[in-house]
Amino acid sequence: MSRFEKTGRLPRVVFRRGATLIDVAMGSMLLSVILIPTMQLIRENERTHRERALRETMLFEAERSIEEQKIWLASQSGATTNFQRLMLGGSQQSNQIVQPTDGPPLQSQTSIQRDTSLGGATGLNVQLVTISTVVWQDRNGNGRVDADEPSEQLSTQWTQP
């Protein structure tokens, strides 16, 4: 005689809490297949974000340096402008350390040179200067741009205001 026949009710099903060994093995396999590559992607994304932010900061500082040089060229010093004196004297170079609000200190080197490339060939009397600036993160502290250091360079030509 079965238990059902004795009591008149169905046997109660007992549910166990917890997981079997197969459940644990499948769960850890899924974690290793999904979680580990995801963590690597997150680390790579953070590194790329830091590099991009540094490059944007360097470009901003290079642009700011060029604009400062344009202001300096247009400023008066007695009867002549700095631009006119540069046309007589040749070139100027300046180095400075830039401390951005967010990030490491950067080195900046700006040069202004008289550009004679348009005057001779065309017969025109064009007064033109080339303003070049390079901004880099001087990781080894030698004051020079090295191949393994991140850097950004901008150049523009400018004529008398």
- In this structure, what token pair is assigned to residue 154? 């901008």
Two tokens at 119? Answer: 């005057």
> Mean of the per-residue pLDDT values for the chain?
82
In the chain the first and final C-alpha atoms are separated, in Å, by 111
Q: What are phi and psi of 129, to 5 degrees?
A: -125, 155
Predicted confidence (pLDDT) per residue in 9-20, tens digit = 666 777 777 778
Express each pLDDT in 23-61 by its tens digit: 889 888 888 888 888 999 999 999 999 999 999 999 999
Is 73 in contact with 83 (CB distance < 8 Å)? yes
| Number of continuous H segments (helices) and E segments (strands) in the chain | 4, 6
